């Protein structure tokens, strides 16, 4: 294939900054081909989430089957999965139609605004049915704390937490440290074969809605085109850093990053 085919299984963000909208923009900006199975419709903007309506598992499953049985996929990426039944349905289709396709799981649980997006029981189903299938999971600090049931307050604690998350059965963990205080942001990658730490200057901006979705989808696109995991992550981080730098302020709260910076006149050359 001349283009990486990325199937995104996630919720919709009516404000366009996160969720399926951010995923499609990211994959497209990196010259991949984005396909979707919408799991939920949300009413949200830069100020918060006003409503969530989950789609039935059968409809989510039908979307996945429709794509995988015709177009296929080089990488799968999951975002917001709102119930145990949805998670089980997604895992069933993956096992049947895409068992060898790399899976990037972004364990979306809480929005940037702090709004809870999924019930507690969905987390247990995620650990049981989906995380063990993942080539990579990409939790932030609050998500990792929820998964492990303990606080993570330092960079050193991130290392131990990443190793503990690896024990959930996934191939690799990228623990994102943006929620820790400080002028530097540290991300930690842990797998059975490597441990890598990245450090970036913190970008002071309110245009940071959807950064987790954006990073995970960028990693998925790189993985789908066959890049080694650490290369796919570094490329995705560079894409996100530029998207934060080039963001255009929108809304009255936490606005979106600039997903399209790679195809505007000030193209950065990341691709």
Q: Which class for 152: exposed (0-12), middle (13-18), buried (19 or more C-beta within 10 A)?
A: buried
Tell me which fold the domain 5-263 belongs to.
3.40.1190
Q: 35, 80, 23, 43: which is closest to 213 by C-alpha?
A: 23
DSSP-derived secondary structure letter, 194? -
Q: Give the integer Cα–Cα distance in Å for 49 and 254.
A: 12
Q: What is the pLDDT of residue 118?
A: 72
Tell me the pLDDT tens digit for each residue of 84-135: 999 999 999 999 999 999 999 999 876 655 666 678 889 899 999 999 999 9
Q: Give the per-residue pLDDT at 2.
A: 79
H/E element holding 175? strand 172-176
Which residues does the chain have with pLDDT short of 70?
Answer: 1, 110-117, 264-271
pLDDT for the residue numbered 266: 52
pLDDT tens readout for residues 26-53 = 999 999 999 999 999 999 999 998 999 9
Q: Compute φ and ψ for 187, nearest 5 degrees.
A: -115, 140
Which parts of 108-206 fold into alpha helices (H)? 120-125, 141-148, 155-166
Half-sphere exposure in the Cβ direction for 259 (13 Å, CA): 27
Other CB atoms within a 10 A radius of the CB of residue 51 amount to 9
| Structural tokens at position 201 | 């200057």
Q: Which helix (H) or strand (E) holds 41?
A: strand 33-45
CA–CA separation, 235 and 240 (whole Å): 9
237, 196 contact by CB (below 8 A): no
Secondary structure (3-state) at 38: strand
Alpha-carbon gap, residue 264 to 239, rounded angstroms: 13
């Amino acid at each position: 294939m001349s283009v990486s085919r990325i199937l995104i299984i996630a919720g919709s963000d009516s404000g366009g900054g996160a969720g399926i909208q951010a995923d499609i923009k990211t994959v497209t900006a990196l010259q991949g081909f984005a396909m979707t199975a919408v799991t939920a419709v949300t009413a949200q903007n830069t100020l918060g989430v006003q409503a969530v309506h989950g789609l039935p598992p059968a409809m989510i499953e039908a979307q996945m089957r429709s794509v995988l049985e015709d177009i296929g996929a080089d990488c799968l990426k999951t975002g917001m999965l709102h119930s145990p039944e949805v998670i089980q349905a997604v895992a069933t289709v993956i096992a049947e139609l895409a068992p060898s396709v790399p899976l990037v799981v972004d364990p979306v649980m809480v929005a940037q605004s702090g709004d809870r997006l999924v019930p507690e029981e969905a987390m247990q189903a995620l650990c049981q049915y989906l995380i063990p299938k993942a080539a990579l999971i990409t939790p932030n600090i609050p998500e990792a704390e929820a998964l492990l049931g303990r606080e993570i307050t330092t960079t050193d604690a991130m290392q131990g937490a990443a190793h503990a998350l690896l024990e959930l059965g996934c191939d690799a963990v990228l623990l994102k440290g943006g929620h820790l205080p400080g002028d530097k942001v540290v991300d930690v990658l842990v797998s059975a074969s490597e441990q890598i730490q990245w450090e970036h200057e913190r970008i002071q901006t309110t245009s940071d809605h959807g950064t987790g979705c954006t990073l995970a989808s960028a990693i998925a696109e790189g993985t789908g085109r066959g890049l080694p995991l650490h290369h796919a992550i570094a490329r995705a981080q560079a894409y996100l850093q530029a998207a934060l730098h080039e963001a255009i302020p929108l809304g009255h709260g936490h606005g979106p990053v600039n997903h399209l910076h790679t195809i505007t006149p000030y193209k950065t050359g990341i691709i």
